[in-house]
Amino acid sequence: MSLPYFITDDPLSGRLSGPEGRHAVTVKRIQPGEHVMLIDGTGTTAHVLVTAVEGKDGLVGEVVDKQEVPRPAPRVTVVQAIPKSERAELAVDLATQGGADAIVPWISHRTIARWQGPKVAKNVEKWQATAREATKQSRRAWIPQVHDPVTTNQLAQMLAGKTAYVLHEDATMSIKDADFSADEIFLIIGPEGGIGDDELELLGAQAITLGPEVLRTASAGLAALSAVGALTGRW
């Protein structure tokens, strides 16, 4: 049975309030006798039988089952070059559906969209909200962490000593031949204009290809995550 998911700080209390409670009561119209899944976004889940609705933004229920869901291994961080505005949230949504454990917005040399000043915090919040909603839609127990944006130089420092792969149409290595035995994997998704040779060298990541097709930057992360899921024990 696929239950509707809602996020709360304390799933095991069997209570839901605030914006999530309002969504459950007024939008989803959850009623006593129905079942919901409460999660905290860090692995704790509670299957709850709703026993009462409180006003327009609260519900109370009985916890009929609870779980501590371990984080999938290996941990996969998606480094996403910031797409144009209309595709940015789609990229986060699809990466979350694909199981990304963390998402790093990347201001690459060829990134068209620029986050500056107040836009930085505002756009990070948008990505975080998108990740939360996609977590519920995809029935995940873990909400991916959305980092602050990094430049190419900052990303190179982040990747030092780590296992990192960059999706590149001219790569000679297939993703199926990549080594995913490390505890943490970084998947780097370039911008619409691609990644230049100088930038690729600076990052120090191994270039791999997903196949003969060239994917959009918004969908490449999902495709790569799906491949990693099939090639490792994540699935």
Provide, rounded to the nearest whole percent, the portion of the chain with pLDDT above 70.
100
Say whether both 44 and 26 belong to one domain: yes
Say whether both 30 and 106 belong to one domain: no
Last residue of a domain, one of 35, 68, 101: 68
pLDDT in the model for residue 110? 86
Residues 6+ apart with CB under 8 A from 58: 15, 16, 17, 21, 25
Q: How confident is the model at residue 206 (pLDDT cuts 50, 70, 90)?
A: very high
DSSP code at position 211 = -
Last residue of a domain, one of 49, 68, 87: 68
Say whether both 43 and 112 belong to one domain: no
pLDDT tens digit sequence for 87-105: 899 999 999 999 999 999 9
Say whether both 174 and 96 belong to one domain: yes
> Residue 53 is part of a domain; what is its CATH number?
2.40.240.20
Say whether both 80 and 60 belong to one domain: no
Q: CB count, 10 Å around CB of 130?
A: 21
Q: How confident is the model at residue 113 (pLDDT cuts 50, 70, 90)?
A: confident
Say whether both 57 and 121 belong to one domain: no
Say whether both 49 and 114 belong to one domain: no
Say whether both 148 and 47 belong to one domain: no
Say whether both 190 and 221 belong to one domain: yes
Asked which of 22-31, 69-78, 107-116 is least confident by mean pLDDT, the reply is: 107-116
Instruction: Give the total number of structural domains in the chain.
Output: 2
Please determine, for residue 32, whether its predicted confidence score (pLDDT) is greater than 90.
yes
Residues 6+ apart with CB under 8 A from 118: none
pLDDT tens digit sequence for 174-190: 999 999 999 999 999 99
Provide, rounded to the nearest whole percent, the portion of the chain with pLDDT above 90.
84
Q: What beta strand segments (E) does the chain contain?
A: 5-7, 15-16, 35-39, 44-54, 58-68, 75-81, 102-107, 145-146, 150-151, 163-167, 184-189, 206-208
Say whether both 121 and 174 belong to one domain: yes
Say whether both 48 and 164 belong to one domain: no
Q: How confident is the model at residue 1 (pLDDT cuts 50, 70, 90)?
A: low
pLDDT in the model for residue 213? 86
pLDDT in the model for residue 115? 85
- Joined together, the tokens standing for residue 195 give 């990644």
Dist CA 192 CA 212 (whole Å): 17
pLDDT tens digit sequence for 119-163: 899 999 999 999 999 999 999 999 999 999 999 999 999 999 999
Dist CA 11 CA 2 (whole Å): 17
Say whether both 55 and 92 belong to one domain: no
Quick check: pTM over 0.85?
yes
> Residue 201 is part of a domain; what is its CATH number?
3.40.1280.10
**Residue-averaged pLDDT of the chain:** 94
pLDDT tens digit sequence for 50-65: 999 999 999 999 999 9
Contacts of residues 177-183 at CB distance under 8 Å and 24 or more positions apart, as own/partner, are 177/208, 178/206, 178/208, 178/231, 180/74, 180/228, 180/231, 180/232, 181/74, 182/74, 183/73, 183/74, 183/75
Note down the domain range covering 24: 5-68
pLDDT in the model for residue 6? 97
Taking alpha carbons only, the member of 59, 233, 42 closest to residue 142 is 42
